Structure 1
Amino acid sequence: MSTESTEERILAALEEDAQASYAAIAERADVSKPTVRKYIDQLESDGVIVGYSADVDPKKLSGQSIAMVGIDVASEQYVEATRTLQELDSVQALYSSSGDHMLMAEVRAADGDALGDVISDEVLAIDGVTAAHPSFLQERLK
């Protein structure tokens, strides 16, 4: 048996295939189906598992352009700027960051020109946003 805990093995199976049946997860984690059910129920209750989703490549589905945008924000306006960014429809995900930028945003638009417009007209127009550094995604590799 693996040195991973039962919880880790169940989570690994779910991360690999969120649609896997309890039987498939039980087989992969080397536990019974009732054990899988118990752990999943508890992980959902504890907020460890917050949802299940399909992993879709939006470029293949709709031809959208996607950029990861490093965003710098004035410290005194961080909370307000973050709230405003969260409300933008074109911002699909927003992360705080300890890297080169305070925030990282996944931004999507119909094409590269529209994406540039979103960054210049919406993101950079937010009070407190001091810079936006886009990296346009070309191809999903994993």
Structure 2
Amino acid sequence: MTETLDATDWAILTELQRDGRVAYTELARRVNLSASATKERVRRLEETGVITGYRAEVDPERVGYGVLAVVRLKYPGTRHEPLRRLLGERPEILECLRTTGDDCYVLKVAATSMGHLEELVDALADFGSTTTNLVFSRTLSLRGPSEPGPRER
């Protein structure tokens, strides 16, 4: 799909990643298109799966989840359904990536306290060995991809 994205598509994606609630008229102004052309491009980006959804970003600390951690999990075996079930049951697991290397999974978790984090890590340890790193600060918040530069193409 990357080959079919032009500079205007990338501009739309950049603006929507900054503010997913921007009105079509304002988005159109920012990317130098008419509102109807902009709306059609956004619709196409949604239909082709480039845009997968819209969501509110919530500050975990402001809603009582002041402990942020990264948990790496070595998962022996091949039955991953029990872990997937736990992921669905535990909203404090914010993200889970299946990876290569020594660790099978890397999880970003938010907890209300160190005790809560300990209980969550204990639940994950039922699936294999864990390594937990506390997050002091977010140097770079989650962001989406941007238009590749000449070196990246």
Q: Aligned pair 1:73/2:75, yes or no?
A: yes
Counterpart of 2:124 in structure 1 is 123
Distance 1:27 1:99 in 2: 46
> Which of 95, 112, 115 is residue 113 of structure 1 equivalent to?
115
- Structure 2 gap segments, 5+ residues each: 1-5, 142-153
- Cα distance change of structure 1 residues 108 and 16 upon mapping to structure 2, 3 Å threshold: same
Distance 1:30 1:99 in 2: 45
CA contact (8 A) 2:65 2:111 kept: no
Greater strand share, 1 or 2? 1
Aligned residues: 134
- Cα distance change of structure 1 residues 105 and 119 upon mapping to structure 2, 3 Å threshold: same
For normalisation by structure 2, the TM-score amounts to 0.75
Distance 2:111 2:117 in 1: 5
- 1:8 is displaced (CA, Å) by 0.8
Distance 1:57 1:74 in 2: 34
- Structure 1 gap segments, 5+ residues each: none
Backbone CA RMSD of aligned residues: 2.0
User: Secondary structure of 2:38's match?
Assistant: helix
Distance 1:62 1:7 in 2: 38
State the identity as a percent. Answer: 23
- 1:18 is displaced (CA, Å) by 0.9
> Which of 130, 135, 138 is residue 136 of structure 2 equivalent to?
138
Query: 1:106-136: per-residue Cα shift (whole Å, max 9, x none)?
Result: 222221121012101x1111xxx32211122
Counterpart of 2:88 in structure 1 is 87
Q: How does 1:1-142 map to 2 (within 5 A)?
A: 5-77=7-79, 79-89=80-90, 90-98=92-100, 100-120=102-122, 122-125=123-126, 129-141=127-139, 142=141
